[in-house]
Structure 1
Amino acid sequence: MDNSPPFPELARNIMCGRITQHRKATAYLTEMGWDASALGEQAGRRSPSWNVPPSSSPWLMHRLADGREHMDLVHWGYRPSWAAEKGLPLAINARIEKAASGAFFRPHWKSGRAIVPADGWYEWTGEKGHKQPWYIRLRSDQPMFLAALTSYRPGKEPDENTGFVIVTAAAEGGMVDVHDRRPVVFSPEDAALWMDNELPPEQAEYLARSTALPPDAFEWYKVTRDVNRVGNDGVHLIEPA
């Protein structure tokens, strides 16, 4: 009997289940080379955070149909209506190995490529009840740009199926010791290309596979278990334990 899931891109090997966006929104815009006018009204009112979980609404960067740049608040998590009817789980990540061709994400690979600006993400190791959180960031401690797919469309009223997922790839090098998956992280230049509406889906897949920043661009270290509680926030969460 084939016990594989009906939609392999949803295999629940969850990673990158918590991120930080502790800089001001304008810092990410500046790093990307965008003007402050790209900041949506609601997005401009959101405060930075050191503990951003799924089902919240972090900053998301994308290009409008006319090519203009925009940053909005978008729900982290996605499930199309047909998947909800089948009882499939809400997704927070999309595995690059299947996302470009799988039914769940394929439409958004073509016209819903976006970027989650972040400063780092958390992973956990160890047994249940004794898990140790780790914080992963760029060695330069610069903002990072995570590949995402979204069903959000500016000008269209969001509904219960509106949201985004972070695109993940297999971890490499020493990063495997923390988790066997990692988000696809771009340089600002490649992030801009990923969001280009004129970039064909197959070229976007090549971009994600070939230009994601390598493990040696990152550093990771243990942090306080206070991050385990979603309601906790503050700079102490990313200080070495």
Structure 2
Amino acid sequence: MCGRFEQSETPGYYARALGADTHGLEWQGGDNIPKYNVSPGSSPLMLHRLQGTLHSDYVIWGYRTPKEAEEKKRPWINARVEKALTGRYFRHMFQEGRVIIPGGGWFEWTLEQGRKQPWYITRKDRAPIFMAGITNFRPGIQQVVEVGFVIVTEDSGSGMVDIHDRRPVVLEPEDAWRWMDPETPVEEAAHIAQSRSLPSEEFMWWRVSREVNRADPGNNGKHLLAPINCEGN
């Protein structure tokens, strides 16, 4: 699964890494506060396509139905790729709300001596990651329901399973564009999510400080990504 991630670069940086034209005003102005410990319930950057052009919005990480909101149930933050298409819960989002959540890497946890130990996972080539997501956000439409996104996950491959048995679907730029394209048939989008995710061999991971465990907007800083020894953490 993915319960926390890092998104420390600017929207323009991620857009250029996707190969987008960033000369428009959307990518030029505004200050960006690097986010090294993005947690559910916050509103990170989300990329999506609109009339063939890449756009960005800041959307809440988490989704629940109106009934679940009324019952004050905790939002879902991930959707299993195996069920996102066929299950009734996420199917409408898979069909009409495929997006990309960019970042530098994500966090997973192991249990060591009875304590949760966070690990940071990133690409070996240090390129940004483009996580497949789905959302009920509809650009230009006033919505009366809660709006949010979830990250699509798959089984972890060889090696990474010792950190966690689930991981985000991470796509290369070409596949990310196809994933976001509303004109991409659902069957093709399902194929992309199920077969085009970067393999575990493309990633590296290391232990980081247990400071990461505290989900707090003020708990932010590049030091959270620094490798640590398992002793004295």
Alignment of 1:84-233 (within 5 A): 84=69, 89-126=74-111, 130-231=115-216, 232-233=219-220
Is 1:33 matched up with 2:11? no
Q: Secondary structure at the match of 1:126?
A: strand
Shift of 1:161: 1.5
Is 1:68 matched up with 2:29? no
Shift of 1:230: 2.2
Structure 1: how far apart are the matches of 2:180 and 2:126? Answer: 23
Instruction: Identify unmatched segments of 5+ residues in structure 1.
Output: 1-14
Residue identity opposite 1:196 in structure 2: D
- What does residue 227 of structure 2 align with? 240
Structure 2: how far apart are the matches of 1:128 and 1:101? Answer: 39
Residue identity opposite 2:111 in structure 1: G
Structure 1 segments of 4+ aligned residues over 6 angstroms from their partners:
none
The structure 1 residue matched to 2:8, chosen from 12, 17, 22, is: 22
Shift of 1:49: 0.9
Structure 2: how far apart are the matches of 1:127 and 1:219? Answer: 20
Q: Secondary structure at the match of 1:61?
A: strand
- State which drifts further: 178-187 or 84-93: 84-93
- What does residue 231 of structure 2 align with? none
- What does residue 78 of structure 1 align with? 63
Give aligned pairs, total: 225
Give me the identity figure in percent: 48
Residue identity opposite 2:75 in structure 1: L
Task: Indicate if the aligned counterparts of 2:159 and 2:200 stay in contact, CA closer than 8 A.
Answer: yes
- What does residue 12 of structure 1 align with? none
Residue identity opposite 1:190 in structure 2: D
Structure 1: how far apart are the matches of 2:105 and 2:80? Answer: 19
CA deviation digits over 1:164-220, x for unaligned, max 9?
Answer: 000000111110000000000000111011011111111110111111000000001
Q: TM-score, normalised by structure 1?
A: 0.87
Instruction: Identify unmatched segments of 5+ residues in structure 2.
Output: 229-233
Q: TM-score, normalised by structure 2?
A: 0.90
- State which drifts further: 150-159 or 17-26: 150-159
Distance 1:187 1:228, change over 3 A: same
Structure 2: how far apart are the matches of 1:129 and 1:123? Answer: 16
Q: Secondary structure at the match of 1:23?
A: coil
Q: Secondary structure at the match of 2:132?
A: strand
Residue identity opposite 1:239 in structure 2: A
Distance 1:207 1:97, change over 3 A: same
